[in-house]
Structure 1
Amino acid sequence: MDFKQLTAVVTVAETGSVTKAAQLLHLVQSAVTRQILGLEEELGVPLFDRSRQGMRPTAAGARLVERARRALGELERARAEISPVRGAVTGIAHVGILGGAIDLLVPPLVAVVAEKYPRIDLRISTAYSGHLREWLDTGELDLSLVYNLDDTPAVRVIPLLRDRLWVVGPPAAGLRPDQPVDVGDALLQPFIVPVPGHGLRILFDQARLSAGVEPNTVVQANSMELQKVLVKAGRGWTVLPASGVATDLAEGTLSAAPLRNPEIPRTIGLGLPRTGRTPPAVEAVATELARIIRAAVADGAWPSAQLLDR
């Protein structure tokens, strides 16, 4: 089992095709096929189901791909961290950002890393909070924003802030940041509800059950951007973190207000894997991200948020 074989098996699994994998790897198809067959012979099991629809990993192949992807990632990190420039911070930093904070945090983070740490390979992913936690656990992310998560055996969490969810409507709704709205009153409106499994849905369901009110649901949506598009199209109101609508409020394309009776709070922290020493590149990006978040709260750019003591 060697580097080329592992690269081939991962690339074929991701593309579903020896032809596409060969193109990406700048190899002839026969070379990729030999690498896969050699690995199957060594392990004594088929790694792919082959059909006219393409190549799909078997159960054994999927397990190998998962571990091979992780091993190749570590080798890539080691290569990136070996720098010929004395004192330069180098390496990969793969950051997970909650969907509601993309507009507020990603542009300044990219800018400051490019300016201060040009040799850091910055990678950014966004997903549901649950997916970000899983990627932290498996090592696919180096650090991530998470909410309502305490320390776990695999992840240490640095608490950053506490915020609350807001009700969001079109400008004509006249919602105002200084005039909270009762959950029961908000749910009388046609409502765009997060889909089951979404982190916001869990918080939303807890609040509506506490208020004893069923929402007037018109549609369920699986992303913050989709919720905002539907609100702007006049399909109803929705519930979102204040950070996710700060730009829209400034532009006047939405109106919003904090929810109360009950409030829907959440605690946001920075999660880091507990595995060994934190690489310098990850430490540098974590420091900058925390600084940007604290500045956003202090400047009022993150509405209704309160900083937490470290």
Structure 2
Amino acid sequence: MDFRQLKAFLTVAETGNVTRAAQLLNIVQPAVSRQIRLLEEDLGTQLFERGRHGMALTEAGKALVEYGQRAMLELERARTVLKSSETRISGLVTVGLLPSTSDILASALVTAVAQQHPGIRVRIAMGYAGTLLRWLEAGEVDTALLYQAERSSEIQTTPLIQEPLWVVGPRDSGFKRNKPVPLSKLVGRKFILPSAPHGIRTLVEHACRAADVSLDLSAETNALSVQRSLVLGGHGLTILPPIAVAEDLAQGRLSGAPITDPDITRTIVLALPSNRSTGRHIRSVVDILEQEMQRGVRSGLWPESRWLAG
């Protein structure tokens, strides 16, 4: 197996067509077919089903796509490190952001990186903490924001922000930021919560066990936008950090209050892999990400939060 074979294979897998792959690779069609044939002979297995309508991956081919994409990503990272000069930092950096943080951070991060390091291209990957952790371990993202509860021997974390979780409801719910609500007072109300094992769901369930209470769920969802929409539609209350619905709270579309007895807080950490090197371009983006997060806390754009880093 060599680089040309792997690149030809991935291009055919993506297009499903040898002719189209040849056009993208800027080589003749027989050369692409030959690279695929040599790769199949080397591996001793068929990677595609050839048909009238194109090339369909076999089960072996589907498995190789995953490994091949990771290998190509690592090669691209190596090329970036080797080509970077002392005066200009360049390369692609993939940053994993939590849904509740993407609105405040994505645009600010991309803008700041473009201004300070125009040779760096930022890719934003959004997902929940468990998903981001898997992507980080697999090398699909270079750095990510996680909850402190996410653990792995293959990552190193730095706590950056601590923030409370609030009960949030429609504007007529009567919640106020200066009037904390005991968790026991929410018993009997309908709730929309993230599906397990989402980080916020885990924190809420732990608090409920500590207070010996049980919340009544009317719906579960793994999409923050759906969670927000259901609350606005009057289907129940939810529990979120204020940053997740900051604009709705500011505009009065939703109302919210801190939860007490017990307090529920989450800690956001910056995670980097400990099992592979981190290039200058990644470190540069990480520094800017931290700066933008700290700016959000100090300016009040990240409501009710506390900066933990030095």
TM-score by length of 1: 0.88
Question: Any unmatched runs of 5+ in structure 2?
Answer: none
1:12, distance to aligned residue in structure 2 (A) = 4.3
**Partner of 2:56 in structure 1?**
55
Residues 183, 8 of structure 1: CA spacing in aligned structure 2 closer, same or farther, 3 A cutoff?
Answer: farther
Q: Percent identity?
A: 39
1:307, distance to aligned residue in structure 2 (A): 1.9
Q: Who is 1:188 aligned against? A: 188
Residue of structure 1 in register with 2:106 after alignment: 106
- 1:70 touches 1:139 (CA, 8 Å); kept in 2? yes
CA contact (8 A) 1:78 1:91 kept: no
Is 2:226 aligned against 1:226?
Answer: yes
Alignment of 1:155-174 (within 5 A): 155-174=155-174
Give the Cα–Cα distance (whole angstroms) in 2 for the partners of residues 62 and 170 of structure 1.
Answer: 46
Whether contact under 8 Å (1:169, 1:236) holds in the other structure is yes
Instruction: Normalising by structure 2, report the TM-score.
Output: 0.88
Deviation at 1:203, TM superposition (A): 1.7
Q: What is the distance in 2 between the residues matched to 1:208 and 1:149?
A: 17
The 5-angstrom pairing of residues 35-184 of structure 1 reads 35-48=35-48, 55-58=56-59, 60-81=60-81, 87-149=87-149, 152-184=152-184
Measured at CA, do residues 192 and 77 of structure 1 come closer, stay the same or move farther in structure 2, by a change above 3 Å?
same
* 1:108-133 deviation digits (Å, cap 9, x = unpaired): 11111111111101111011101111
Write the deviation string for residues 251-278 of structure 1: whole angstroms up to 9, x where unpaired. Answer: 2222211212222222211001113442
Q: Deviations over 1:177-228 (max 9, x none)?
A: 2222222223432211211232222222222233333322221111111101
Match of 1:270 in 2: 270
SS in 2 for 1:111: helix
Contact 1:18/1:29 (8 A) holds in 2: no
Superposed displacement of residue 303, structure 1: 2.2
Secondary structure, counterpart of 1:100 in structure 2: helix
Relative to structure 1, is the Cα distance of residues 166 and 11 closer, same or farther in structure 2, using a 3 angstrom cutoff? farther
Q: Is the 8 A contact 2:18 2:55 kept in 1?
A: no
* Residue 151 (structure 1) shift: 6.8
Structure 1 residues 79 and 25 mapped into 2: Cα distance closer, same or farther (>3 Å)? same
2: CA distance between counterparts of 1:96 and 1:54? 33
Q: Secondary structure at the match of 2:39?
A: helix
Q: Give the 3-state SS of the residue equivalent to 2:214 in structure 1.
A: coil
Residue pair 1:156, 1:271 contacting (<8 A) in 2 also: yes
1:300 deviates by 2.4
Aligned to 2:213: 213
Do the aligned partners of 1:92 and 1:122 also contact (CA within 8 Å) in 2?
yes
Letter in 2 for 1:165: L
Question: Is the alpha carbon distance of 1:14 and 1:213 closer, same or farther for their aligned partners in structure 2, counting shifts above 3 Å?
Answer: farther
Question: Over residues 19-54 of structure 1, what are the superposed CA-to-partner deviations in whole Å (9 max), with x where a residue is unaligned?
Answer: 696288356766544433321111112234667897
Change (3 A) 1:84 1:285: closer
- Distance (whole Å) between structure 1 residues aligned to residue 18 and residue 229 of structure 2: 39
Q: Secondary structure at the match of 1:177?
A: coil
Other-structure match for 1:18 = 17
Q: CA deviation at 1:7?
A: 2.1
1:292/1:56 CA distance change after superposition, 3 Å: same
* Separation (CA, whole Å) in 2 of partners of 1:192 and 1:69: 37
The DSSP-based 3-state class of the residue aligned with 2:165 is strand
Change (3 A) 1:247 1:47: same
Report the CA distance shift for 1:151/1:215 in structure 2 as closer, same or farther (over 3 A).
closer
Structure 1 pair 174/24, CA: closer, same or farther in 2 (3 Å)? farther
CA distance in 1, matches of 2:95, 2:10: 22
**Cα RMSD for the two superposed structures:** 2.6
Which stretch shows the higher mean deviation, 246-255 or 42-51? 42-51
1:11 and 1:165 mapped to 2: Cα distance? Answer: 45
Deviations 1:67-107 (A, max 9, x none): 32122112223444455876111111110001111111112
Change (3 A) 1:90 1:84: closer
Consecutive unaligned residues of structure 1, counting only runs of 5 or more, are: none
Kept in 2, the 8 Å contact 1:13–1:57? The answer is no
Please say which of residues 282-291 and 203-212 is displaced more in the overlay: 203-212
Q: Write the letter of the residue equivalent to 2:90.
A: T
Contact 2:148 2:159 in 1 (8 A): no
Change in Cα spacing, 1:234 to 1:278, as seen in structure 2 (3 Å) is: same
**3-state SS of paired residue (1:245):** helix
